[in-house]
Amino acid sequence: MTTTSLTINGPMRPRYDEILTPDALAFVERLQHRFGGQRHALLADRMQLRYDLGNGRDLRFLPETESIRRDPDWRVAGAGPGLHDRRVEITGPCDPKMTINALNSRANVWLADLEDATSPTWANIIEGQLSLFDAIRGRLEYTSPGADGAPGKEYRVTAERTPTIVMRPRGWHLVEKHIEHTDRSGRTFAASASLVDVGLYAFHNAHALIAAGRGPYFYLPKLENHREARLWNEVFTFTEAELGLPHGTIRATVLIETFPAAFEMEEILYELRDHCAGLNAGRWDYVFSIIKNYRNRGLRFVLPDRDRILMTLPFMRAYTELLVQTAHKRGAHAIGGMSAFIPDRRSPEVTERALERVAADKRREARDGFDGSWVAHPDLIPVARAEFDAVLGDRPNQLDVLREEVAVTASELLDIRSAGGEITLAGVRANVSITVRYLESWLRGIGAAAIDHLMEDAATAEISRSQLWQWMHHELRCADGTFITHDLVEGMLAEVLAELPRPDGHKLAEAEEVFRQVTLGEDFPTFLTVPAYARFLVERDEEPIDSATDQRAA
């Protein structure tokens, strides 16, 4: 199907025409024409920054924007309808079953995730949009497949009050290869995944959300600086004008999940001030970003085993305390990080210890001034809610907790050596196992994978593979004296692969190939999802679509 400058390469399965309507695609086309060039320029700036950091530059608070930080008067738009109380937020992909479970979860907010928890197959993206489309209109139902083709369990939304939906689009660095855009010079590119996700969701749902007493709300991932925030603000302003929405209707919560963004939190809020509701401490992507940006800078930036990177470490405390102070100073919510443990009734002792750790983590966040926090499983909601209820009481948030005593310096954010700890053989093997198992799941179309009692997504897998790369390239030793070499990791990879089951449709061979590319190669891919996405062939209908006939039918 072809519009003026967009070509849909993916198959038009049942109901896809309800999302990929001519008018919706025309809107996405206008977003691409208006903002595609700026996006490319900002991605080039990211490459330059990584080059500079690799050559000895350290991040700092920007002297050229000091006046913004010193100005006491400006504030962000703040919470929109349905966003004032965010004490417990559940995250998850947008397939029908997970959508229904999230809406029945009794969380305050559902992060409807088209990013790290979603493997971006064509079906997952468009059917995720369909799930949201139906859920917002109160008509989503799902029947799981049963044995021998018989219907299985039925799922439907039963909660009287459902969580406020905040949709997370894919990041600026990603593309949607099933939608091609031809620019004014005649060159053809895969469309920006960010603009596709936001454009389709806002076009179809903004007015329905407002009528339901909520609004078109977004979580913005992977931002690295205030210029990228400025681009999002321009996208939102343009979207409001195009869709006939009052300026400021859209609300965004920014994930501070890259190391460079931690040094520009206030500037990011300033650029998005007409549309901003909050900041979130995306802690696992933040750790990955540290390793990625400083991976070649020596022992000063080497972290211990993944499970020893705790929020109580000094450099992580500096990051979260600065986030709370910055957000509240400007009237924005501060939302805490993910607890990804999956309770298991078959392992009551493991579950009890893990729930105690989750409770301690949420207790620390609530006492530090956070207004809410994330969980990955419905069974964690009561644990998180109890800790925030104990601090918030009847208040919807604690924006009045300004943390004026906090005075974080750039050197404190950069003090990665404060992590201390050690690297163990068990930690190396765990990283190998997590990376290859997650990649296999992702390549099968499952972006949130239950692995060893944790819900792993792209962010946590990124930590595992980037630690392996860094440890090998620095020729580090484990605590027992074993050198971390390519041969060691190759041997562990072979052992892990030999132990894994091979059900029908498994992708272990492909996962092994991607593992070698993102972990064992000399080059360091900026995101594992980029080479993994290249493995997805463009899905096509068996018969070509006649665009004129298709548009008349739509």
C-alpha to C-alpha distance for 95 and 101, rounded to whole angstroms: 10
What are the structure tokens assigned to 452, written together?
A: 């060893």
C-alpha to C-alpha distance for 519 and 430, rounded to whole angstroms: 14
Residue pair 351/307 in contact (Cβ under 8 Å)? The answer is no
What are the structure tokens assigned to 117, written together?
A: 């928890």
Residue pair 58/410 in contact (Cβ under 8 Å)? The answer is yes
23 annotated active-site: no
**In this structure, how many other beta carbons lie within 10 angstroms of the beta carbon of residue 180?**
18
Residue pair 293/255 in contact (Cβ under 8 Å)? The answer is no
Catalytic, out of 113, 361, 368, 457: 457
Task: Kindly state the helix (H) or strand (E) to which residue 113 belongs, with its residue range.
Answer: strand 109-113
**In this structure, how many other beta carbons lie within 10 angstroms of the beta carbon of residue 232?**
25
C-alpha to C-alpha distance for 319 and 311, rounded to whole angstroms: 9
Burial 461-494 (b: 16+ CB within 10 A, else e): bbbbbbbbbbbbebebebeeeeebeeebbeebbe
Catalytic, out of 168, 273, 295, 297: 168
CA dihedral 338, 344, 347, 353 (to 10 degrees): 30
535 annotated active-site: no
Residue pair 208/37 in contact (Cβ under 8 Å)? The answer is no
C-alpha to C-alpha distance for 185 and 24, rounded to whole angstroms: 23
C-alpha to C-alpha distance for 144 and 156, rounded to whole angstroms: 11
Answer positive or negative: Cα dihedral of 526, 527, 531, 533: negative
Phi-psi region of 153 (alpha: psi -120 to 50; beta: other; left: phi over 0): beta
Contacts of 252 by beta carbon, 8 Å cutoff, 6+ apart? 217, 218, 219, 220, 232, 236, 272, 275, 276, 277
C-alpha to C-alpha distance for 55 and 310, rounded to whole angstroms: 28
Q: Which residues are catalytic?
A: 168, 457
